[in-house]
Chain A
């Protein structure tokens, strides 16, 4: 499950690909934790190349959301595909986290 991180106007954009399960979610949690621990708490998690996510992946995202908001930042989700979006909805994530169709929208939605 490759993850890349890129800075865009003070926002950390994570692009994740493949399947996020209990075997791979630790990598995602570690990358997100590196960002929030370094004070980079404006986060976009781009899921457009993710075909599968289980509760283990949601756990990593929720932990990062809390860390980011507690430090005055936020986390946005971008590009979730149909199946992944359905999991986010069923788990009540879409009521907590702002989800956008594209990465550009998710980045632009942060206040300047």
Chain B
């Protein structure tokens, strides 16, 4: 099912719960499976956490708008804010193979974000708004038939 939804909240940690609930509800309306829903929740949470902790660091917390657009083939979630410019796709990759002594405590959020979606796109508009688009492809619909619930779990058994 194709849908468009949006939510705007203050760029504060307490808003993260609302953003995840928004994704959960919109994903349900769009008929996404549990795994896709979880992946999108985590990706959006990490993106918003980054805006809250870094984008608006040392500034008055502004707002974050999250838009979800679901079509038959893909789901696009766009996170918009007016904080500092920052392209998560360009962030350094953490070294996950290192020993516990050398392992950084943080730095894994953007790695998780990138792992959860198929495409990450960042752009800023002339008015200083940052838009981070996360694209997740939906499982292909088999030719000549509609998808049955449970199809996607078939190869786990």
- What's the least CB distance linking A94 to chain B, in Å? 10
The reply to whether A59 and B13 form a contact with Cβ atoms under 8 Å apart is: no
- What's the least CB distance linking A107 to chain B, in Å? 21
Q: Tell me if B's interface is mostly helix, strand, loop or mixed.
A: helix
The reply to whether A19 and B49 form a contact with Cβ atoms under 8 Å apart is: no
The reply to whether A59 and B106 form a contact with Cβ atoms under 8 Å apart is: yes
**Cα of A52 to Cα of B44 in the assembled complex, Å:** 13
The segment out of B60-68, B70-78, B107-115, B142-150 that lies at the interface is: B107-115
Is residue B90 within 8 Å, beta carbon to beta carbon, of the partner chain?
A: no
Total number of B residues with any Cβ neighbor in A under 8 Å: 27
Those of A36-95 within 8 Å (CB) of chain B: 52, 54-56, 58-59, 62-63, 65-66, 69, 83, 87, 90-92, 95
Cross-chain pairs A/B with CB under 8 angstroms, 21 sampled? A21-B20, A22-B49, A23-B16, A52-B20, A54-B45, A54-B49, A54-B112, A55-B46, A56-B109, A59-B105, A59-B108, A65-B100, A66-B105, A69-B100, A87-B42, A90-B111, A90-B112, A90-B115, A92-B94, A92-B108, A95-B97
Task: List chain B positions with a Cβ less than 8 A from chain A.
Answer: 13-14, 16-17, 20, 35, 38, 41-42, 45-46, 49, 52-53, 94, 96-97, 100-101, 103, 105-106, 108-109, 111-112, 115
Instruction: List 20 additional A-B contacts (Cβ < 8 Å) besides A59-B105, A83-B38.
Output: A19-B20, A21-B17, A23-B13, A23-B14, A52-B42, A54-B42, A54-B49, A55-B106, A55-B109, A56-B49, A59-B108, A65-B100, A69-B100, A87-B42, A87-B112, A90-B112, A91-B111, A92-B96, A92-B97, A92-B108
